Structure 1
Amino acid sequence: MRAIGGLWRWRHNPLRRTTDLVEAWVALTALLVFLLVAPAVGCLVGAVAQDTLQEAVRAQRLSRHEVTATVARRPQGSLLEADPESVSGRGSRTRVVADWTAPDGTPHHGTVLAGLRSPHRGDHFPLWTDTHGRLVNRPLDSATATTHAVLAGLGTTLLTAGLVEGVRRLVVRGMVRRRYARWDQAWDRAGPDWGRTGTGS
């Protein structure tokens, strides 16, 4: 709003300098970019991120499978470990030796993290594997993908606005420096005797 007011104020002012008008136009342009361009860029990036992440969700759902594993035994010194996939960090899992069958029918045996607090031989728990039974992370869910896309769009909007403000400040700083340089030149031309009685008469 100050940019619009500045343009209106300087329209017919006899003391108006060209730099004053340019500075007001720069501020108005930056304001329009803040209000129109930055949100549009953010929406575009968010939409692209949403499409890409949802495609990743679909691909992971096709390539990752939940199988049921059976506890064979607990390894020596097995302790509760924080679940790396838990958002809150409060989830805990226990390291166990387990057996599972891959989606392609091959049997597997190995040490895995089970979502059981006190596992016993024969307990069942879910496990995510690829088609051949190799352990993989849980597939990305649609809601999490959407959250990441929204955050990407918001971050891009803020980054664009910050860049515009930085450019505006650099332009204004350059104009102010040139203005001060012109004032210094004008004072140098006036000479050290400016203002003394009888000088220049």
Structure 2
Amino acid sequence: MAALRGPRALLWRWWPNPLRRRSDRIEAWTMLAVALSALLAGTLGGLWATRSVELNLARERDEWRPVIGVLAERAPGTASGSEQVWAEVRWPAADGPAHRGQTRVDPGSAAGTPVTVWTDLQGRMVTRPATEAQASLRAGLIGVLVGTTAALVPLAGGRLLSERLQRRRLDQWDTEWERVGPQWRWKTG
């Protein structure tokens, strides 16, 4: 007799077979439901997260504006350094008083040097918004992560249920063997 191989081996629980137990049918339908719910949860969760991140980053691109500020003090370091350093910057605000904050500038820049800072609608300093390409990449990666996580929840539940059904089958097997086993003693020995 040839061993079961290929796709047929995956579907054995649905075949008519006198040895197939009720728990085999329950497990087959449960695992099908788990696979479909994992696919659905992963897809919907990933698409929802991707869309949400894309909308958030598009809103940031629309609302955040560059403002020209000035260095409040000379930037530390020498002009020969290639890495930027932190320095205090002032920029005008629409509501009156000037805002202050820290940003990265070229080392050794003189006080009063113009510096571009990005601000939100309230005039608070923010980072430069993500470009459309950066936003698409970020949204896609977050969508994959959220979708994978959402799909793992039903898969973990299905795994726990499968293990419980397996334990139950083994207990039933032990009970059945205790009932049938003594009948075979006279044939052995």
Q: What is the TM-score with the length of structure 2 in the denominator?
A: 0.70
Classify the secondary structure of the residue corresponding to 2:146.
Answer: helix
In structure 2, the partner of 1:177 is 167
Distance 2:119 2:158 in 1: 52
- CA gap of 1:178–1:91, structure 2 versus 1, over 3 A, is farther
Distance 1:190 1:57 in 2: 74
The alpha carbon displacement at 1:174 in A equals: 1.2
Classify the secondary structure of the residue corresponding to 2:48.
Answer: helix
> Which AA in structure 2 matches 1:74?
R
The alpha carbon displacement at 1:41 in A equals: 3.1
In structure 2, the partner of 1:74 is 74
Instruction: Work out the number of aligned pairs and report it.
Output: 180
Q: Spell out the pairing of 1:7-46 with structure 2 (5 A cutoff).
A: 7=11, 10-46=14-50
Q: Deviations over 1:133-156 (max 9, x none)?
A: x65123423434433332332122
The alpha carbon displacement at 1:173 in A equals: 0.8
Distance 1:176 1:56 in 2: 52
In structure 1, the partner of 2:55 is 51
Is the CA contact 2:38–2:152 (under 8 Å) kept in the aligned structure 1? Answer: no
Q: Spell out the pairing of 1:57-136 with structure 2 (5 A cutoff).
A: 57-58=61-62, 60-61=63-64, 64-69=65-70, 71=71, 73-74=73-74, 78=76, 92-95=84-87, 100=91, 102-104=92-94, 108=98, 112-129=102-119, 136=125
Distance 1:131 1:40 in 2: 32
Distance 1:109 1:55 in 2: 23
* Amino-acid identity (%): 26
